[in-house]
Amino acid sequence: MSPDNAKVGVFICHCGKNIAGVINVEEVRRFAEKLPGVVVAKDYMFMCSQTGQRLIKDAIKEHRLNRVVVASCSPKLHEPTFRKCISEAGLNPYLLEMVNLREHCSWPHLYEPGKATEKAKALLKAAVERAKRLEPVKSVKIPVIKSVLVIGGGVAGIQAALDLAEQGFRVYLVERSPSIGGNMARVVKTFPTDDCAMCILSPKMSEVASHPNITLFTCSEVISVDGHVGNFTVRILKRPRHIDEEKCVACGACEEVCPVLVPDEFDLGMRMRKAIYIPFPQAIPRVYLIDTDKCIRCGMCAQVCERNAINFDEKPKELELKVGAIIVATGFEEFDPSPITEYGYGEYDNVVTQMQLARMLDPLGPTHGEILRADGKPAKTIVMIQCVGSRDHRFNKYCSSVCCMVALKHAQLIKLEHDPQAEVYICCIDIRAYRKGYEEYADRARELGVKIIKGRVSKVEEDKKSGKLKVYVYNVVLDEVMVIDADLVVLSSAMIPSRGTQDLAKILGVEVGPDGFLKELHPKLQPIDTKIPGIFICGCAQGPKDIPDSVAQGSAAAARAASLLSRGEITIDLIIPEVNEDLCRKCGICVRFCPFNALELPPEGKSVRVIELKCKGCGTCAAACPTGAIQLKHYKDEQILAQIEGILGV
Amino acid sequence: MDQHFDPIIVAFCCWHCSYAAADLAGTSRIQYPTNIRIIRVPCTGRVDLIHIFKAFAEGADGVLVAGCLKGQCHYVDGNLKAELRVIFAKRILESIGIEPERLEMVFVSAAMGAEFASIIREFVERIRSLGPNPAKLKKHGQLKESTKSRE
């Protein structure tokens, strides 16, 4: 259609006072009315409301509009709303152009109403010029594969997998380490009820193992993801256990004879394991594995294994899965506090992290539930230091959100279950106990005699002979520096995204925030979605959070995935390039520039072909084409050039 | 420096990052000059030389191409391709007597609203000190004529 035949309707939103409080809407409307091609220009208080949308639909019918310009908030917010609105009035949804009057004009120019109004006119003229050249965009319906990949087998991933499996969807749960359970398996007890963590987690772990709809891949990592929402192709690398999962019954005979000792990762190096091992007693799957980096290939384990489960020759395997949605639940790890030299972690033996203390508190842990100094003597005075690597501009600006509660929990467990006479100090900026039942939990700690000191610790010093520590803390309430003699210093170290989060984000194409955690699409309204449709995030991969929040997000991610999968089919709008065969010189530059291999140059001298579902619509090909033969739909040169002319024409 | 000169700057912003950064600046009510006018592109990899030169020919005093942070392009490396084009376009501008400083490529993430606003403030100041686009001064007479002939 020629731009001269366009009949454009312009609809300007006041957004209450958000736009109209700065921009002179009536002046802009009168300006719009006179623009060539504009048939009608209206304004309304809230264009996104039912009445506002009705106003647009009625105008489309009344004036036989074939193009619509809505000047309101960011298209990131309401483009889908208005596309739906005009399509209900019989127009192709892509015959809409939006002007971002709120985020890009009234809000950043609050004190310059005159200039903002002029800018609004320029933006509007550009939109009208562009709208006149818009073309309908076709869409295709594709079936959705009714299976889901869950990456990460911590409590969030477990919850998501179980929820989906219960609804009848096939779930592939991929876990990098040899067992599911994640960090929750390490934490001994959980605040604010002091439930035993393993007692509430292990039934869920077993359910994962036995659920007919869940396929569990441990020692496995995602190496590539291809495709799009509803139809992803995922490649998994499964590292060898060197033990046949079908045959091993975890009798432990192999472990007894293995002569190699290795620091145990699960207990954070506080005790030794063998080179053939099971990560922890309740591990799922309950199958041994061989640490081939440390194994000396003596073969003693193979001699004692009655079921012939050991296979030293097992090779890594690559598997391919087809899924309709992906849930990322890769969790967190504890920040290594050794760069904070004033606390002496890694230098002084009696400085540990909260996670190490959690392992000590575990009756099955390295100290069998005793709180011991490095020399084996019981620790009588324990000082906890909060915000180690969190709320610290040198490392992480964010609050790790759980450490206050973790410190309170460990302090109470020490007082209640170990040694009521022990002196426990918590040195903090403030105590953040914000959830249901948390402040009451903090109160209980105070009643038990846990000393909470407001103030940051400036340094920890060690007496070389006795191993005793001196903790210097500036008490802001007393306005003085306190020096505490401690047996053990426990650092409440920050939560950071688990190792490899950045690499996985790249494979998936999802965004990472400035804090290193995966970024949600909208912090309030779309906290589970990501930039990539069909990929959802939950748990600590998205940001620091406690167990209840992780479980809730796991369920939320499952619900988001289920609502996508149960639709059966999805519509994809084909914002893809078009090739003008007369102009195409078959040079193949676009084929080389395409980051997604979505273009191919067929033999026999035909022009370039677009592989519809591989194309993601970036338009790199169009900018690279030397003849202008390849044009991205909805972002064609003539559309952009007209917009440039319009934006500079006021 | 002419404080009264109010430049017009066209910014090509990619949908995933810099457009969202500008949204965030707005949502956070971070103030920046009205001189900037944003055109949305799916990816800065879509920005062609012809778009940049068209903006200058139509009278833009400065052009900003704003993509995702390096390594974070949602289309793998469209921002790096755009950067190469911008470097090339600067050379052409120089050869035709337009200061290459009038064109700049910047990289911001969707979370960098405040940073993007300060980039805009600095760029507006830069263009203000450069004065009006010399191509515009020449074009002005022609523009009026062409408007007349249309009428």
- A window 509-538, beta carbon within 8 A of B: 509, 511-514, 519, 531
CA gap A537, A530 in Å, rounded:
7
Per-residue confidence in pLDDT tens, chain B, 151 aa: 556 799 999 999 999 999 999 999 999 999 999 999 999 999 999 999 999 999 999 999 999 999 999 878 888 899 999 999 999 999 999 999 999 999 999 999 988 999 999 999 999 999 999 999 998 766 555 544 444 444 3
What tens digit of pLDDT does each residue of A309-336 get?
Answer: 999 999 999 999 999 999 999 999 999 9
Based on the domain organization, do A403 and A344 belong to the same domain? yes
CA gap A106, A113 in Å, rounded:
8
Q: Which of A454-458, A465-469, A527-531 has the highest mean pLDDT?
A: A454-458
Residue B148 is predicted with a pLDDT of 42
Could you give phi then psi for residue B80, rounded to 5 degrees? -70, -35
CA gap A350, A374 in Å, rounded:
6
What tens digit of pLDDT does each residue of A424-442 get?
Answer: 999 999 999 999 999 999 9
Q: What is the CATH number of the domain that holds A349?
A: 3.50.50.60
Select from A512, A619, A644 the Cβ nearest to the Cβ of B54.
A644
CB atoms within 10 A of CB A150: 34
Strand, coil or helix: A194? coil
Contacts of B29 in chain A (CB under 8 A): 107-108, 110
Give yes or no for A176 touching B (CB within 8 A). no
Q: pTM of the prediction? A: 0.79
Based on the domain organization, do A502 and A484 belong to the same domain? no
How many domains does the structure of chain A reveal?
4
Could you give phi then psi for residue A66, rounded to 5 degrees? -120, 0
Question: What's chain A's average pLDDT?
Answer: 95
Could you give phi then psi for residue A245, rounded to 5 degrees? -65, -30
Strand, coil or helix: A394? coil
Give yes or no for B111 touching A (CB within 8 A). yes
Contacts of A647 in chain B (CB under 8 A): 10, 37, 39
The stretch A118-122 carries a mean pLDDT of 98
**Stretch (H or E) spanning A383:** strand A381-388
Based on the domain organization, do A375 and A462 belong to the same domain? yes
Boundary (domain end) residue, out of A474, A496, A518 = A496
Based on the domain organization, do A377 and A492 belong to the same domain? yes
Q: Kindly give the pairing relationship between strand A488-493 and strand A495-497.
A: unpaired
What tens digit of pLDDT does each residue of A581-634 get?
Answer: 999 999 999 999 998 889 999 888 889 999 887 888 999 999 999 999 999 999
Residue A8 within a domain:
yes
Contacts of B33 in chain A (CB under 8 A): 109
Boundary (domain end) residue, out of A76, A109, A137 = A137
What lies within 8 Å, CB to CB, of A465 at 6+ separation is none
Based on the domain organization, do A466 and A416 belong to the same domain? yes
Residue A571 is predicted with a pLDDT of 87
Could you give phi then psi for residue A560, rounded to 5 degrees? -65, -45
What residue ranges do the domains of chain B occupy? 9-148
Give yes or no for A620 touching B (CB within 8 A). yes
What tens digit of pLDDT does each residue of A43-94 get?
Answer: 999 999 999 999 999 999 999 999 999 999 999 999 999 999 999 999 999 9
Residue A273 is predicted with a pLDDT of 96
Q: How far A2 CA lies from chain B's nearest CA (Å)?
A: 18
Count of alpha carbons within 13 angstroms of residue A375, beta-carbon side: 10
CA gap A107, A19 in Å, rounded:
8
Residue A277 within a domain:
no
Based on the domain organization, do A413 and A507 belong to the same domain? no
Residue A109 within a domain:
yes
In chain B, the residue whose alpha carbon lies closest to the alpha carbon of A73 is B23
Give yes or no for A57 touching B (CB within 8 A). no
Residue B139 is predicted with a pLDDT of 55
Residue A355 within a domain:
yes
Based on the domain organization, do A46 and A120 belong to the same domain? yes
Contacts of B60 in chain A (CB under 8 A): 644, 648
Based on the domain organization, do A25 and A67 belong to the same domain? yes
In chain B, the residue whose alpha carbon lies closest to the alpha carbon of A19 is B26
Sheet with A381-388, side-by-side order of all strands: A351-353, A488-493, A381-388, A423-428, A451-454
Residue A643 within a domain:
no
pLDDT at A142 over 50: yes
Is the CB of A644 less than 8 angstroms away from the CB of B48? no
Can you tell me the ipTM of this complex? 0.92
Find where tokens 């009006």 sit. Answer: B132
Which is more confidently placed, A142 or B120? B120
Find where tokens 């219960």 sit. Answer: A166
Q: Which domain holds residue A409?
A: 333-496
Based on the domain organization, do A101 and A165 belong to the same domain? no
CA gap A510, A502 in Å, rounded:
9
Could you give phi then psi for residue B61, rounded to 5 degrees? -85, -20
Residue B2 is predicted with a pLDDT of 54
Give yes or no for A643 touching B (CB within 8 A). yes
Is the CB of A623 less than 8 angstroms away from the CB of B39? no
> What's the distance, CA B31 to chain centroid?
18
Is the CB of B41 less than 8 angstroms away from the CB of A111? no
Select from A118, A531, A632 the Cβ nearest to the Cβ of B46.
A632
Boundary (domain end) residue, out of A446, A464, A496 = A496
CA gap A650, B66 in Å, rounded:
23
Based on the domain organization, do A348 and A414 belong to the same domain? yes
Based on the domain organization, do A457 and A531 belong to the same domain? no
Based on the domain organization, do A368 and A465 belong to the same domain? yes
Q: Is the peptide bond before A339 cis (omega within 30 degrees of 0)?
A: no
Please say whether the beta carbons of A183 and A210 come within 8 A: no
Residue A645 within a domain:
no
The stretch A266-275 carries a mean pLDDT of 94
Q: What is the CATH number of the domain that holds A629?
A: 3.30.70.20
CATH topology of domain B9-148: Rossmann fold (3.40.50)
